[in-house]
Structure formats: C-alpha cells, structure tokens
Amino acid sequence: MTAGPHEPPVLEVRDLAIGLGRHAGAPRIVHGIDLSLHRGRTLALVGESGCGKSVTAQALINLLSPPLAVLGGSIRYAGEGGGVDIAALAPASDAMRALRGRRIAMIFQDPMTALDPVYPVGEQIAEALRHHLGMTARAAAARAIDLLRLVGIPDPAARARAYPFQLSGGMRQRVVIAIALACEPSVLIADEPTTALDVTVQAQILAELRSLGERFGTAMLLITHDLGVVAEVADDVAIMYRGHVVERAGVESLFAAPSHPYTRGLLASLPPVDGERRSLTPIPGQVPPVAVAIDGCPFADRCVDARPDCRAALPPAIEVAPGHVVACVLHARDRSSP
Ligand SMILES: Nc1ncnc2c1ncn2[C@@H]1O[C@H](COP(=O)(O)OP(=O)(O)O)[C@@H](O)[C@H]1O
Ligand code: SF4
Ligand SMILES: [Mg+2]
C-alpha cells in the first residue's frame, strides 16, 4: 500500500544550496530547495535541461564532483540504517559508503555507464548482492535470476549469462534497475532513466519501477523533463526552474490547478494525449546560464505574466492549497488581497 505524505519523510531536503565552487561570488546552481521523499511514494522532479536536477541528485547521494559543492542546507536520511545528515558526511566516509548503493540507490539515463561490458549481467547483479549483503556466490547467483524475473526480463536464467551488448537498450535498463533494487533500498533516485528508450518501452519500465517501489516501500525520486510521464507514475511533483523549486504539489492538485507560469508553460508544450488537435507552444527562450546572477524571479525573462516587481526580489513560496506551494508574485498578491 502507498504510504501517505503525512508519514515523516524517509529523505528530507531542506534549503539545499549548491555552488560551482565555494568561494564568494561562485555561481549558484541550486538555490535553497526543499524536497520530501516518502516511503512507497514517487516524487517527480521536473524541469527543462539545465535546471539543476542532476546536480541535485548527485548531492543526495553525496557524489558531487568538485568544483560543485554543497553550500548549505541539510539532506536528512531517516530510512533504515539512517538518522544522518548526508550533507554533513564526507563522500568517502564509512557512513556514506554504507548508505550509497545499499540504502540509497541510483539509476542513470544511460545503462551502459552503469554496466560493465566484460561481465555477464547476472554476475553483475550477484556482485552487488555479495558486496552489500554479504551473500554467498551461490545464493547471490540464484537471487540475481529472481531479480531479473522481477524486473520483467523473460527467460531470466538464460539472460543472466548474457553480456550487456547482447541485450536491447530496454533490457539493459531493466538490468540496471535490478541492480539498484537488489538490496531493497529505502530510497531510489532515477535520473531520466528512460529518456534514451523508445516511448512504449519507457512507459512499461516506468510502470514497473513504480509498482516495485510501492511493493518494497521504496521512496523514489524520479527526475524527468517530461510532464507526460509524471501524470502516469508520480504521487508528488516538484517543478524546478533554474535551481529553484517553483511549484510543489500532489500530482492531482498539480494537474488540476497548475499555478506557476513555468508549470503552465511546460503543460502547454505537452503533445496532446487524447488525439485532440492542438498546437504545441514551447516556452520561448532558454534557461539562463548559471554564471548570470538573478535577483528576482528566475523565470522573469520568459514569463508572459512578468511585471516590474517580479524582478525586485525572489518571490516567496506561498501555500495555495493544502500541500500545494507556489513561488510566484501572482499568488502572493492573491493571498494578501482581502
Ligand atoms: N561540473 C560542472 N561544471 C560547470 N557547470 C556545471 C557542472 N555541472 C552542472 N553544471 C551546470 O549546472 C546547471 C545544472 O545542471 P544539471 O543539474 O545537469 O541540469 P539538469 O539535470 O536539470 O539538466 C547547468 O547550467 C550546468 O551547465
Ligand atoms: S513571479 Fe512574475 S515573472 Fe516570476 S513566474 Fe510569477 S509572474 Fe512570472
Ligand atoms: Mg540532468
């Protein structure tokens, strides 16, 4: 059963700031974001390319490579083996190594970067089981086949002996998911896991990922630039623009009442789902580069509703409905008017 958002989060990100270097004046990539991951639920982190989604994911597993650095905030992990602030742990510390891959697993866009080309895939899953769980070789080999079956790979005993190049892109990504789920992690971070695959395979894999997450009680962070997949698999949504979370809501609330102009722009550029003929209107312009410092609303240059006061200061985050938070002056004004 899916746990409710009222339970305390398994992973709670508060005011996380990430810079391109630690020195004064270093460009900021992530500007104090909040995210909460709950057991058995999927949070989608959505935004165009360059908004800071992957950098955020790397911070959550403490794998930022310099000059990228956490400048402030906390990443509280409260799942099994937890009770720590990941932002305060050294990346190579024993405590972090005990979490990464075991309690907090990660899936990247390209399965080939995660798989070793010279070993059969079954051995690679078994290796994860031996390394993290201390299983014997025989038990790990048997469990590897179970996991291949679980992620929807037909004839798993035979496929376990295949090398990555002998499998399709979709099958390879399923193997990567099997490795990530091997230790039944409390948290799974999936960074655009199906972007490289064709649309039908994407849908199948995302549906399976979601159901496995529910079954194991995994809290999942699904990173995507596609609001279409969000509607299918997410429970909660955070819309990210230029290093800021500009809107957060439960999935129904977000689609019923998208409130930030950026969210509305993303929705307007979705292809029609019901065959209805409708022209696509991609948001004009581009995400400003991180080297450009912005004082006011980060979206102002592209926003059809922008006014002079939008550029004066960062719009405050306002709760427009229970659990639905928007950072835009239009909503701040709504609330302050009698
Ligand atoms: N190592 C790095 N050096 C310089 N800029 C970086 C580095 N990593 C990320 N960036 C910049 O940070 C911003 C966010 O990147 P990223 O998190 O990869 O975005 P997303 O995953 O949302 O597409 C981008 O402008 C990117 O160019
Ligand atoms: S604060 Fe202003 S510029 Fe920013 S999204 Fe809202 S209306 Fe647009
Ligand atoms: Mg990315």
Report how far ligand 2's centroid is from the alpha carbon of 58 (Å): 29
More confident residue, 39 or 194: 39
Question: In this predicted model, what pLDDT tens digit does every residue of 169-193 receive, in sequence order?
Answer: 999 999 999 999 999 999 999 999 9
Same-domain pairing of 190 and 152: no
Q: How many domains does the chain fold into?
A: 2
Residues lying with their CB under 5 A of ligand 3, a single-atom ion: 53-54
Judge whether 141 lies within some domain. Answer: yes
Rounded Cα gap, residues 292 and 27, in angstroms: 8
Q: Which of 248, 250, 246, 251 is nearest to 328 (CA)?
A: 246
Task: Identify the domain containing residue 271 by its residue range.
Answer: 40-58+91-103+186-336
Contacting residues for 96 by C-beta, under 8 A, at least 6 apart: 62, 86, 89, 90
pTM: 0.94
Residue in 18, 48, 55 to alter for ligand 1 test, most ligand atoms within 8 A of Cβ? 55
Chain centroid to CA 64? 15
Same-domain pairing of 119 and 233: no
Same-domain pairing of 173 and 314: no
Rounded Cα gap, residues 75 and 257, in angstroms: 29
Per-residue confidence (pLDDT) for residue 28, from 0 to 100: 96
* Residue after which a domain boundary falls, among 147, 182, 217: 182
Report how far ligand 1's centroid is from the alpha carbon of 268 (Å): 25
Judge whether 145 lies within some domain. Answer: yes
Per-residue confidence (pLDDT) for residue 41, from 0 to 100: 96
Same-domain pairing of 208 and 276: yes
- Is residue 248 classed as helix, strand or coil in its secondary structure? strand
219: left (phi over 0), alpha (psi -120 to 50) or beta: beta
Contacting residues for 107 by C-beta, under 8 A, at least 6 apart: 114, 173, 176, 177, 180, 188, 189, 190, 191, 193
Same-domain pairing of 135 and 216: no
Report how far ligand 2's centroid is from the alpha carbon of 300 (Å): 6
Q: Can you give the CATH number for the domain in which 274 is found? A: 3.40.50.300
Same-domain pairing of 216 and 97: yes
Amino acid present at 67: P
Same-domain pairing of 253 and 231: yes
Judge whether 119 lies within some domain. Answer: yes
Same-domain pairing of 216 and 118: no
Same-domain pairing of 117 and 244: no
Ligand 1 cavity residues, CB under 6 Å = 20, 29, 47, 49-55, 68, 289-290
- The two three-digit tokens of residue 42, written as one number: 């999927």
Per-residue confidence (pLDDT) for residue 80, from 0 to 100: 87
Ligand nearest to the CA of 56: 1
Same-domain pairing of 165 and 309: no
Judge whether 301 lies within some domain. Answer: yes
Q: Pairing between strand 187-191 and 104-107?
A: parallel
